[in-house]
Amino acid sequence: MKVLLALEDGRYFWGRSVGAPGERSGEVVFNTSMTGYGEILTDPSYRGQLVVLTASHIGNYGVAWEDLEAGHPWAEALLVRSFTDRPSNWRSEESLGEVLRRHNVMAAADIDTRALTRHIRQAGAMRGVLSTIDLDPESLVAKARSIPPMEGLDLASEVGTKERYEWREGMPAGFAMTWKNPGTSPGVHNAASLSSTPSLHTVVLDFGIKRNTLRRLVDLGSRVTVVPARTSADEILSLHPSGLLISNGPGDPATLGYAVDTIRQLIGKVPIFGICLGHQLLGQAFGARTYKLPFGHHGGNHPVIDTRDGHVRITAQNHGFAVDPDQLPTEVEVTEVSGNDGACEGLRHRELPAFSVQYHPEAGPGPHDGDEHLQRFVEIMREFWS
């Protein structure tokens, strides 16, 4: 079945449908990860986006359910060059095509992803429409121009939990990872097998949290409670948290004033760690503004530079907005910057236990370089309450 992708600037690309039929729209972005399409597809941060995968061959190893970051896909569509629906991997439980069709997610193969990626790099991320129904380029271009831009969209409220819940699952048994801290025990499904009475309690403000982040907190010895994005500061404090984790998520952080107010009230009362969108919200709570990047940072190979010692970390990223540090007070320092474009990648309050990183430290997918921040968060919580 033919499929057509049209961009708001008039450029269009033909392909072959390998997912569900229909029509989807959103912001078209590219991701440079070599592996991890299952995690990318189910990352809630991709709500409202059509994702171009720059890796040449997609679907080779199928889908293992325990790798997925949510119970269903959140990306609007996948755009790939070469696609296989016959996976070859001992962990595969379903083909990628089967997952896409079962969850009614569109995907296009045989797209000239190199040309598309180069175009986005030059012109910036833009609105697009993917369709198997309307194959008229002019009609689809007009539709692309009519959809709302990412600026001004509160998508986090669509993907976060609506009710509070406890998370108890650690890393899956036999998970092939070697973490930097040998004292923890990846490979347990139940927190009780790691510690019968975890001494820490992390409350997660959920704007689109990934499962691996929650699993990692459990493996580091914390009880975890996930709460909706609109939970008030008083409600969070009533849970007696050891610390607050502000999660990743999609959309424009400038639309989440209610969350910024909540975070501002909690700074200094409990240790705070912000991830990705959480970093942007903490930055706003500190006094900074956020702005839209030309084509965002999406992939598992982004270098960030520690401003204090020059150390470079390779990180997994997925965001289209960034923090402008020019309005930060003197008591807040920029701890990391992007090695590609110099964007702010980390913040830290010099006196209070509050810090953040723009990237995803849980390695789902991606390198493990950022895991030290989760360990640091746990250490800060222990020190704060000791």
Mean pLDDT across 91-104: 96
**Predicted local distance difference test score (pLDDT) of residue 190:** 39
Half-sphere exposure of 353 (CA within 13 A, CB side): 20
pLDDT band at 133 (very low <50, low <70, confident <90, very high): very high
**Predicted local distance difference test score (pLDDT) of residue 184:** 41
Burial class (CB in 10 A: 0-12, 13-18, 19+), 146: exposed
Structure tokens at 103: 């969850």
Name the CATH topology of 156-385. Rossmann fold (3.40.50)
**Predicted local distance difference test score (pLDDT) of residue 180:** 45
Among 283, 278, 287, 284, which Cα is nearest to 203's?
278
Residues 286, 105: Cα–Cα separation, whole Å? 38
Active-site amino acid positions: 276, 360, 362
**Predicted local distance difference test score (pLDDT) of residue 386:** 86
**Contact 3/29 with Cβ under 8 angstroms?**
no
Mean pLDDT of the chain: 93
**Predicted local distance difference test score (pLDDT) of residue 192:** 37
**Contact 164/185 with Cβ under 8 angstroms?**
no
Give the pairing of strands 2-7 and 126-131. antiparallel
**Predicted local distance difference test score (pLDDT) of residue 181:** 45
Among 330, 367, 202, which Cα is nearest to 274's?
202
Burial class (CB in 10 A: 0-12, 13-18, 19+), 177: middle
Q: What is the DSSP letter of 107?
A: E
Residue 49 forms beta bridges with which residues?
Answer: 27
Residue 2 forms beta bridges with which residues?
Answer: 16
Instruction: Give the domain ranges of the chain.
Output: 2-146, 156-385
Mean pLDDT across 259-274: 98
**Contact 31/51 with Cβ under 8 angstroms?**
yes
CATH classification for the domain delimited by 2-146, as one of 3.50.30.10, 3.40.50.1370, 3.40.50.720, 3.50.30.20? 3.50.30.20
Q: What is the pTM of this model?
A: 0.93
Residues 245, 232: Cα–Cα separation, whole Å? 14
Is the pLDDT confidence value at 246 over 60?
A: yes
Residues 359, 16: Cα–Cα separation, whole Å? 33
Is the pLDDT confidence value at 175 over 70?
A: no
* Angle at the Cα of 205 from the Cα atoms of 184 and 186, rounded to 5 degrees: 15
**Contact 327/289 with Cβ under 8 angstroms?**
yes
- Fold: same for 2-146 and 156-385: no
**Predicted local distance difference test score (pLDDT) of residue 317:** 96
